[in-house]
Amino acid sequence: MMNNTEKWLSNYILSCRNIRTLSERTLQAYSNDIRSWFQFLEQEEVAPEKVNRDIARLYISSLTMRQLSPATINRTLSSLKGFYQYLEKRGDSSGNPFTALRSQKNPSTLPVYLTNREVEILIDESEGNSFESLRDKTLFELLYSTGCRVSELCALNADAMKNDRILIRGKGGRQRFVFIGKSARDALSAYLPVRQEKLRSMGKGEKKALILDYRCDRLTTRGVYYIIQKYLRKTGLNRKVGAHAFRHAFATELLNEGADIRVVQEMLGHASLSTTQVYTHTGIERIRQVYRRAHPHGRERKRNHRSTVV
């Protein structure tokens, strides 16, 4: 029989899955955060529903002392704030001890991205007529053409394509359309018949997943990572990047070509504009060039070498 804490946790995770439609990865992280909190309370001999603000501060301080990253600590705060908000609404807690605790400031880091040329090198390396080559080229083309998260791409089904666009269900259940360029459409046209033949040869029948692994199961995000590493080694590109680098490249190219940042935000499926703004760092040189070309004081003045007659 479940005790109260296990019952509360189980019901909270179920609520996050059904109402907030969080990803399984996020739900697992939340569950781990809350279980760690329960272990701390057990050591302190404090019941979860009796926690006050001082105990909450002590716990967050303990995470800092363990030298956990600000991102991990902030996620833990989010997990526990949401959990106690849930308990408060149900009447199982008289208040939320984490409400007044502020998130830690994340150090400013620039996203790691592939250049347009590096993306082309990876795509060129994937040329071939085998199932793996055609699949890998389709994978790379779709990542770069759509700006999808790798989890979104792996979740796509073969019937998701509607002419030149796909309806994506992203984080938090937010939906958006992403567009497929001609190169990606051509790669898909070459891949789909070979995919179908691969399924027949393996006796797998019909499979919904668009991108398949060698067993004809849905390709996982970890599988995508291994494929990218293989091509990075083959091409000699000395870069420590994963699938997200294609998404960064997508956003960077759009912004460098003058796309409106709010349109890019919509394409990427970002809930906050501040998340998209991290990509604008790559446009600084372009802004400098425009300034030098357009502003009177930005241009270098030509020296006047004519002598002055006295």
pLDDT in tens, 186-195: 999 999 999 9
Strand partners, 178: 166
Which has more confidence, 289 or 267?
Answer: 267
158-171: per-residue pLDDT in tens? 888 877 888 888 77
Residue 203 backbone zone (phi > 0: left; psi -120 to 50: alpha; other: beta): left
d(CA 125, CA 121): 6
Domain boundaries, the chain: 4-90, 116-289
Q: Which of 75, 137, 198, 247 is catalytic?
A: 247
User: Using N-to-C axis directions, what is the helix angle for 116-125 and 221-235, rounded to 10°?
Assistant: 90
What does the pLDDT look like over 112-142, one tens digit per residue? 678 888 999 999 999 999 999 999 999 999 9
Q: What is the mean pLDDT of residues 99-118?
A: 77
Catalytic residue among 137, 149, 198, 248: 149
According to DSSP, the residues that pair with 161 across neighbouring strands are 166
Architecture of domain 116-289: Orthogonal Bundle (1.10)
Q: Provide CATH code, domain 4-90.
A: 1.10.150.130
Is 305 among the catalytic positions? no
- Does residue 20 carry a catalytic annotation? no
Burial class (CB in 10 A: 0-12, 13-18, 19+), 1: exposed
Are the beta carbons of 146 and 179 closer than 8 angstroms?
A: yes
* 3-class DSSP assignment, residue 246: helix
Q: Is 297 one of the catalytic residues?
A: no
**Per-residue pLDDT reduced to its tens digit, 250-287:** 888 888 788 888 888 888 888 777 777 777 655 555 55
What pTM was computed for the model?
0.66
- Segment of 53-62, 176-185, 239-248 carrying the highest mean pLDDT: 53-62
Whether the pLDDT of residue 301 is over 70: the answer is no
For residue 1, is pLDDT > 80? no
Nearest to 243 by CA among 160, 136, 158, 171: 136
Q: With CA atoms as reference, report the closest residue to 82 among 17, 134, 178, 141.
A: 17
81 assigned to active site: no
The confidence score (pLDDT) of residue 287 equals 59
